[in-house]
Structure 1
């Protein structure tokens, strides 16, 4: 394979996007060799619509017998592209939000060897983000903070952005059957990529909103998303700090948490006892509580500094053998 002339594929999950999808396909430039339209049991039969009205020879329609969600649709597209020998797969939504003219910007860092995976970021231009609905802006800010913790990619923002590109050599080592198939898909991808030490780079793009309807709800962020972030956070800690590698940070975090919790519990218990007795808490007791709290906080901050500095920086897609994580 030659990275000078990579074979580029575009994957378009298709579900209730019949009004927009032909325009999306028409906007995809000649640098793309194959376009996979994944009809995810669309009630509007968008796959049949594309077959009937699109004459672009690059288009391949894949039809799901059952709805699998956006994650399942993208995984089907990745599998088809890898089987056809594609080198880089770009995922574009079918609702017309994403400017296909930006595809070269997304594949550029991968071709240059600077990234394994690229994703859009609508927050680079502060003037442009004023177009974003306030509720969606708030949701993205909260998700970005949670994603930094759970994925380990502290330098990324806008985690739900679905405009992405990935090198096939990185994608083929992802556990396709374990990646979230619904709205948590993009965030779960980042967690899985971190377990491979893949390099992820943000690509600036403008926010664009038309007549599409978002199904991402704040209630989902607070409940379902939060629980999945907690799960991925602890799994990442186990993989990166205890299973795959051991470092000083592996000791700092549990020791810091233990000291912080122990000092806080000790202080609260003695404060309650003093309050019940109507007596001031002894200075020595205050110090015995405050000292482990301060030391525990410092240890946790030291762990976070190590974790932030450990963001993957070396692209792995040219390596022939990669480890797969659960």
Structure 2
């Protein structure tokens, strides 16, 4: 199996080297490659990654998380990877769970697998405001689709070749995680979760502040509802 870890990164010089080292040090059953999608960082993110001899795609302009992640899927599709795994560049996603993420795909039980911190409720559980948003979104997705996802905002996920091709062609742009779940569900594919333990960000700053959180909830809610309407209309 050809497996690729996609790491979108924007100004993650405080975290990225440690994350890459962790991924490289773990002995996986399958060979795991890494590609860094450098989203126009203004710090040393790109140069640090290149010094560690991993593939780096330096974007010519800042595309945001959706555009950066889709670039990773385009890279995966171009190079014919069987499985792609999203891992955030801030170090919150523990690479020890990569094999747990891909196992349901290897067994043919799932097309996309999400790493959820809310199955066993261990480790970093995010901020209070974000937990409220997650609670709201998981119930909205459940009401509209019947799908029970405990951690719809988790960017720690693995996808098979079919999902790679879909995301390479079309991927939500702003705060894409919940919307992409709806999209894959609409395609008739299987989405599942496995428990993971996440870490708190060690350095740098999150791009999500109070104002962005409000925008996030409104934008994602509308996107999810419109996706449901689109499915019923066609």
Q: Following TM superposition, by how much is the alpha carbon of 1:235 offset from its aligned partner in structure 2, in angstroms?
A: 1.3
Q: Which residue of 2 aligns with 1:146?
A: 140
Distance 1:176 1:123 in 2: 30
Q: Following TM superposition, by how much is the alpha carbon of 1:233 offset from its aligned partner in structure 2, in angstroms?
A: 2.1
Structure with the greater alpha carbon radius of gyration: 1
Q: Does 1:70 pair with 2:65? A: yes
Distance 1:131 1:196 in 2: 30
SS of aligned partner of 1:120:
strand
Q: Which residue of 2 aligns with 1:37?
A: 36
What does 1:149-298 align with in structure 2 at a 5 Å threshold? 149-150=143-144, 152=145, 154-174=147-167, 176-177=169-170, 179-183=171-175, 185-211=176-202, 213-216=205-208, 217-238=212-233, 243=234
More helix by share: 1
Distance 2:162 2:182 in 1: 17
Contact kept in structure 2, 1:16 and 1:44, CA below 8 Å: yes
Q: Following TM superposition, by how much is the alpha carbon of 1:225 offset from its aligned partner in structure 2, in angstroms?
A: 2.2
Q: Against the structure 1 CA distance between its residues 83 and 137, is the aligned structure 2 distance closer, same or farther, given a 3 Å change threshold?
A: same
Counterpart selection for 2:130 from 136, 159, 166: 136
Q: Following TM superposition, by how much is the alpha carbon of 1:222 offset from its aligned partner in structure 2, in angstroms?
A: 3.9
| Structure 1 gap segments, 5+ residues each | 1-5, 244-326
More strand by share: 2
What does 1:41-120 align with in structure 2 at a 5 Å threshold? 41-51=40-50, 53-55=51-53, 59-120=54-115
Q: Please list the CA deviations of residues 288-312 of structure 1 after superposition, one character each: whole Å capped at 9, or x if unmatched.
A: xxxxxxxxxxxxxxxxxxxxxxxxx
Q: Which residue of 2 aligns with 1:259?
A: none
Q: Against the structure 1 CA distance between its residues 130 and 17, is the aligned structure 2 distance closer, same or farther, given a 3 Å change threshold?
A: closer
Q: TM-score, normalised by structure 1?
A: 0.64
Contact kept in structure 1, 2:66 and 2:173, CA below 8 Å: yes
Q: TM-score, normalised by structure 2?
A: 0.88
Q: Against the structure 1 CA distance between its residues 77 and 175, is the aligned structure 2 distance closer, same or farther, given a 3 Å change threshold?
A: closer
- Two-structure CA RMSD over aligned residues (Å): 2.0
Distance 1:153 1:121 in 2: 18
SS of aligned partner of 2:62:
coil
Distance 2:167 2:127 in 1: 33
Q: Against the structure 1 CA distance between its residues 173 and 221, is the aligned structure 2 distance closer, same or farther, given a 3 Å change threshold?
A: closer
Distance 1:145 1:70 in 2: 24
Q: Following TM superposition, by how much is the alpha carbon of 1:94 offset from its aligned partner in structure 2, in angstroms?
A: 0.8
Relative CO higher for 1 or 2, CA cutoff 8 Å, sep ≥ 6?
2
Number of positions where the alignment pairs a residue of Structure 1 with one of Structure 2: 226
